[in-house]
Amino acid sequence: MKREVTLLGILHGGIVLRNGCILVTVTGELQIFLRCGGRGEFFAESLAFWKNASIIVVMIRFRIFGIPVEIQPWFWLILALLGSDFGQKGGNMNEALAVALFVIAGAISILVHELGHALTGKYFKAQPIIVLHSFGGVAVFPYAKFTRMQSFLMIAAGPAIQILLGMIVWAIQYKYQSQFSEAFAGFLDDLWLVSIIWAILNLIPVSPLDGGQMLYQIMGPKRRRLFLQVSIGLAILFAVGLFLITRFPIMPIFLLYYAYQNFQELRNFR
Ligand SMILES: [Zn+2]
């Protein structure tokens, strides 16, 4: 039994890949759910399995360019779930490896995005903190006071640097693909794809996405109400459009949730 377990990520609970299935526990005992990669099946399994699994309990914290970074346990889980659906699975690559490579690529890409915000904020004399949480990342600037132009540049820098990363990785992949191993080529594909898609989705002009925050900085605080109305309209439009085009519900669900959040804020104006 133990031989089937590959420790993929590090969580306070634990995330383990077993024959391409992802299993999640809290405190290493209570099972929340498990899922087989790509097929979307949920099923239960005996807890006895877990007694053999080695699960490390940790929240990762480090500094990069002097900026504190915290990676919360659920960050790895959501990436692994996305990776089980979208990771490069072609050829002979073992699915656990493919998901692990997707997770690493996603973590690098999202960290670079947040560093774009954080380093620009730091340039404007703020003291940023980066947190990678369950549904992505955030760069926060406690006590910072930015002008509207500074805010706009700080927000734009995240998607901008991420698109740049995606383009550079794509160029390297395109030029040297034949010399790379299957795993490394798959990793690079994940890295540029995640970077471009993540950046573009973040540029949708809906609050609180980067695109929405940029639009707000352009419109200004006096037009907050109008901004929220525009944001709600665009959120619904993009949710429907993206669903019709991609048939994939995650981003549309987020957009509708943002529309609801914006609507709640709008109601407080009355
Ligand atoms: Zn961002």
- For residues 188 and 81, state if they share a domain: yes
Among 1-5, 66-70, 96-100, whose mean pLDDT is lowest? Answer: 1-5
Residues 192 and 228 in one domain: no
Provide the 3-class DSSP secondary structure of residue 83. helix
24 lies in a domain? yes
Give the span between the Cα atoms of 48 and 34, in whole angstroms: 14
3-state SS class at 72: coil
The model's pTM? 0.77
pLDDT tens digits for range 157-199? 999 999 999 999 999 999 998 898 888 998 999 999 999 999 9
> Residue 216 C-alpha to ligand 1 middle, in angstroms?
14
- Is residue 258, in this structure, part of any structural domain at all? yes
CA of 95 to the centre of ligand 1 (A): 30
One domain, residues 120 and 17: no
Residue 56: inside a domain? no
Residues 21 and 113 both lie in one domain: no
85 with 184, same domain: the answer is yes
> Would you say 191 and 198 are in contact if contact means Cβ atoms under 8 Å apart?
no
Whether 111 and 198 share a structural domain: yes
The verdict on residue 13 lying in a domain is yes
Mean pLDDT of 111-126: 96
Compute, in angstroms, the gap from residue 159 CA to the centroid of ligand 1.
6
110 and 78 in a single domain? The answer is: yes
The lowest-confidence range among 48-57, 72-81, 193-202 is: 48-57
Note whether residue 190 is domain-resident.
Answer: yes
- Please state whether the peptide bond connecting residue 208 to the residue before it is cis, i.e. omega within 30 degrees of 0: yes
Is 61 inside a domain boundary? no
Total of domains in the chain: 3
The separation between CA 63 and the C-alpha centre of its own chain, rounded to angstroms, equals 19
Same domain, yes or no, for 115 and 235?
A: no
pLDDT tier, 5 (very low <50, low <70, confident <90, very high otherwise): very low
How much of the chain, in percent, has pLDDT values that exceed 90?
53
Same domain, 162 and 94: yes
pLDDT given for residue 236 in this prediction: 97
Residue keyed to tokens 């990785």: 169
The tokens for 40 are 């979307």
Distance 260 CA to ligand 1 centre (A): 20
Q: 269: domain range?
A: 217-270
Q: Which of 177, 203, 229 is at the close of a domain? A: 203
Average pLDDT, the chain: 78
Q: Is residue 238 part of a domain?
A: yes
Q: Is residue 257 a part of any domain in this protein?
A: yes
Residue 7 and residue 113 in one domain: no
| 3-state secondary structure (DSSP) of residue 153 | helix
Q: How far is the CA of 126 from the centre of ligand 1 (A)?
A: 16
pLDDT of residue 85: 64
Note whether 46 and 98 are same-domain residues.
no
Separation of CA 35 and ligand 1 centre (Å): 29
Q: Where does the pLDDT of residue 93 fall: very low under 50, low under 70, confident under 90, or very high at 90 and above?
A: low
Write out pLDDT tens, residues 128-147. 999 988 778 899 888 888 99
Do 221 and 135 sit in the same domain of this protein? no
Q: How many angstroms does the Cα of residue 154 sit away from the middle of ligand 1?
A: 9
The string over 155-165, giving b where at least 16 C-beta atoms fall within 10 Å of a residue's C-beta and e elsewhere, is: bbbbbbbbbeb
